[in-house]
Structure 1
Amino acid sequence: MNTPDNKTKRYSTFAVIFYINKSKRKKNGLCPVMGRISVNAETAQFSARIDVDSALWDAKTYRMKGKSREANQVNRELDRLTESIEKYHAELLQQQGYVTAELVKNMLWGIGRKKDTLLSLFVEHNEEYAQKVGVNRTEETYSHYVVVYNHVRQFLQTRHHMKDIALKQLTHSFIEQFDFYLRTEKRHSANTIGGYTILLKKIIRRAINQGTLLRDPFADYRPEQPPQKCRHMTADELERLMATRIASKSLCHTRDMFVFATFTGISYADLCNLSISDISKSSNGTMWIHFKRQKTGSECHVRLLDIPKQIIEKYKPERKGDRIFNMVGYSSTAANLKKVAKLCGIARNITFHMARHNFGTLITLPQGVPLETVSRMMGHLGIKTTQLYAKLTNQKVNEDMKLLSGNLADKFKIYEDKQMPVEVRNVKSSKQLKK
């Protein structure tokens, strides 16, 4: 076969043949079928992963003889391989302007071949992500990707009667329909749908990065935003939680762990893993915590303030092994926090994750600590996440200023010269004054 080479503007030779390797005859007497791809003077051999009886092989047609069931199955598979090789040869020539026998062979077996369907790319992503679990990724996030993959697969099957969909077929309508499917069929909340569609869009970003897609078909999609709940405590609530005397040892321990997290920004999972080796003393005498977040693998560097240092010393006699604190299970911690809130006269539900938000919104940013510093201490992967805490702080400032405006409404008046006509009070330009 002669095909035009776009790079050299000359014709290149291309051929595919199959043969049997008698020297590799197996114990059952069958010989493996081999393939040979030829592009110009270069060849690349590969196994067709088929074994046949050498007596039934036709070396002239590169196929099995006869019309038996076995011969038909083998010949159909060889035809399929030939079609695939010809397709990949044409794709490489069109995309790169040149082609080699080795490149075609690699494409045939998936080496260097880009996934061009949504589910196949999703599977590839999840397989790679699974290998990172325990290194710099968590099992929890991996399980979320698996859930989203299953939802997309079921959505394609039930709503579109498809096993997969080409990436280039994806449109804005697809994710809108998927959103509707999650909302009505799966009965997921707006928060859950938002999280799932974020993961789906990351798969699309992968397709763009590998060059399969030139633009994001979901770029204009905006998931429905649920009413924003206050994710941090008020200063008054925090003061009451810290000042209230608690007789129960277990409840006091939970309160202290919450306060420690509030003044360090450490999550519950990272607090459970916090060890003696994570704490160090600098040359100027300050104490620091250095660790990697379990959720993202990002590094956190937090200087210990007096309150968390006091808590560490308080529980030092109870320490077992290398762990700084003897943490109880999350469900027990959550139940204890509800009891603590009630004892402290706090009406709303308090979750342990609020402590992390307290660190950003109450402890650091309002006291003038720069965003970049807070981001480093909290281990955020990007400054945008930290900016959400700043936004909450600005909202509080806005609310307080509204209250102040109302309180000052009738207390102060600007001086006005009642004898001066209003129109005269307007400042005139120098040209007008000269006139």
Structure 2
Amino acid sequence: MANRAIGKSEKSKQVNTYLEAFTMKVHQARKYLMENEQEITAENIKNILRGNTPDNRMIMDVFTEHNIQIEALVGKDFAPGTFIRYKTSFDHTRSFIQWKYKKDDIPIKKLDYDFISDYSFWLKTVRGCSHNTTLKYLANFKKVVLTCVKKGWLSRDPFIGFKMTKKEIERDYLSSEELKYLTEKVFRIERLAQVRDIFLFSCYTGLAYIDVKNLKRNQIVIGIDKEKRIVTKRKKTDSTVKLPLLPTALDIISKYKVHPKCTSEGSVLPVLSNQKMNADLKEIADLCGIEKELTFHIARHTFATTVTLGNGVPMETVSKMLGHSSLKQTQHYAKILDTKISSDMQKLRNLLEE
């Protein structure tokens, strides 16, 4: 027989048995390619014989490929923060697999509801993540998983039946009375007065800490209404933001116009590190009798609630100024405006009485 060992020795029998088994595997590989409408080539057959088929793809390998593509599209389709989130999600997924399976990776076909449920449990207990933070990491992982489903590598979405509902969080913000008191408070320590001013600037612009820190003088332009406005991009989302400047914000800009740090760097305000700012804000809160835990991010919430929505600015306008990609991101600010609801209903009562 051609391509077979000649003779009846035990060694010849072993060689021929191996060749027959190998030939059978080649036929099976060829059949697999035909059934999956893939090109029948020596390279493809070799990959199948080595176990490199879509059925045997590994979770972390697919995640790696996904993140490489995201990184390549940063600045085009994705913001830098998006890649960082996927990178962190990748690290958590790998750590979970090592914790549960004592391996660095497992096949995609092992993904099921129990995997997702256990991953959620691990994030909350071992990593100490809150419920909403856990869902953020799972949402990142789900996007990778759905890619596998779309490409036919997974027959079923393992997230089916798993609840991804976030808990509503009560976000702190300054009331109009607290904002007024903070504005009028006289600080004897220059450092605290400076931090208060920068915090107030964020209260009247809605800019996040990093966006205030990066704000340059050339980003303040004259708008179509002949008034000054900020034109910048949010660091977090890379979305363009156009902000008409309110009088309080303009006064603060003018106050620091000749500050050495601002003149040398071309920056609008002399912003310290976020850690130092938040430490000083705690001291400022104590001096002002504000019982809320004052952090820089509260300024952004104050702009959304007390300064804009609370004064009747339409949600669509606020959403645009905050740099949100959808109204859904802005709606949670409106939910906490109990005073606004009372005010609106009183107006309705007066109208009905008339």
TM class, shorter-length: 0.7 to 0.9
Q: How many Å separate the matches in 2 of 1:332 and 1:225? A: 31
Mapped pair 1:347 → 2:291: yes
- From 284, 299, 312, give the equivalent of 2:240: 299
Change (3 A) 1:184 1:295: same
Partner in structure 2 of residue 198 of structure 1: 139
Indicate the residue corresponding to 1:120 in structure 2. 61
Deviations 1:112-136 (A, max 9, x none): x899442222111222333455775
Alpha carbons 1:115, 1:121 under 8 Å: kept? no
1:207 aligns with 2:148: yes
Q: Deviations over 1:210-262 (max 9, x none)?
A: 55457643244336866733332222222221121222211111111111111
Aligned match of 2:198: 257
1:328 correspondence with 2:272: yes
Match of 1:358 among 292, 302, 305: 302
Percent identity, please. Answer: 31
Amino acid at match of 2:96: F
Number of equivalent positions: 323
- Partners of 2:55 and 2:109 within 8 A in 1: no
1:309-332 per-residue CA deviation (whole Å, 9 max, x = no partner) reads 111111111122321112111111
Contact (CA 8 Å) 2:135, 2:164: kept in 1 or not?
yes
1:153 and 2:97 aligned: no
The alpha-carbon distance between structure 1 residues 209 and 375, as it changes in their structure 2 partners (threshold 3 A), is farther
- Structure-2 separation of matches of 1:116 and 1:375: 42
Bigger CA drift: 211-220 or 196-205? 211-220
**Residue 246 to residue 216, structure 1, CA distance change in 2 (3 Å):** farther
The residue matched to 1:317 in structure 2 has which SS?
coil
Q: Which residue of 2 aligns with 1:244?
A: 185
| Aligned match of 2:221 | 280
CA distance in 1, matches of 2:306, 2:90: 38
Residue in 2 that maps onto 1:3: none
Between the aligned partners of 1:379 and 1:244, the Cα distance in structure 2 is 31
Q: Distance in 2 between matches of 1:396 and 1:169?
A: 51
Which string of whole-angstrom CA distances, capped at 9 and with x for unpartnered residues, describes residues 149-185 of structure 1?
2332232233234543444542222211111122333
**What residue identity is the alignment partner of 2:320?**
R
Counterpart selection for 2:231 from 282, 290, 304: 290
What is the match of residue 33 of structure 1?
Answer: none
Write the distance in 2 (CA, Å) between the matches of 1:240 and 1:92: 74
The answer for the alignment partner of 1:337 in structure 2 is: 281
- Structure 1 residues 193 and 98: alpha-carbon distance in aligned structure 2, compared to 1, 3 A threshold: closer
Gaps of 5+ in 2: 5-21, 49-53, 347-354
Q: Which has the higher helix share?
A: 2
Cα displacement (A) at 1:195: 3.0
Tell me what 1:387 maps to: 331
Tell me the CA shift for residue 288 of structure 1: 1.6
Counterpart code for 2:145: I
1:129 corresponds, among 53, 64, 70, to 70
Contact 2:219 2:230 survives alignment (8 Å): yes
Unaligned 5+ residue runs, structure 1? 1-59, 62-78, 405-435
Q: Which has the larger strand fraction?
A: 1
Structure 1 CA distance for aligned equivalents of residues 194 and 145 of structure 2: 45
Q: Deviations over 1:185-224 (max 9, x none)?
A: 3333334423322322232344355554576432443368
Which letter does structure 2 place at the counterpart of 1:259? L
1:118–1:166 CA contact under 8 A, matched in 2: yes
User: Greater relative contact order: 1 or 2 (C-alpha under 8 angstroms, separation 6 or more)?
Assistant: 2
- Cα distance in 2 between the residues matched to 1:174 and 1:262: 43
> What is the RMSD of the two structures over their aligned residues, measured on CA atoms?
3.9
Contact 2:55 2:108 in 1 (8 A): no
1:228 paired to 2:169 = yes
Who is 1:429 aligned against? none
Q: Which amino acid aligns with 1:286?
A: E
Kept in 1, the 8 Å contact 2:56–2:107? The answer is: no
Q: Return the index of the structure with the highest Cα Rg.
A: 1
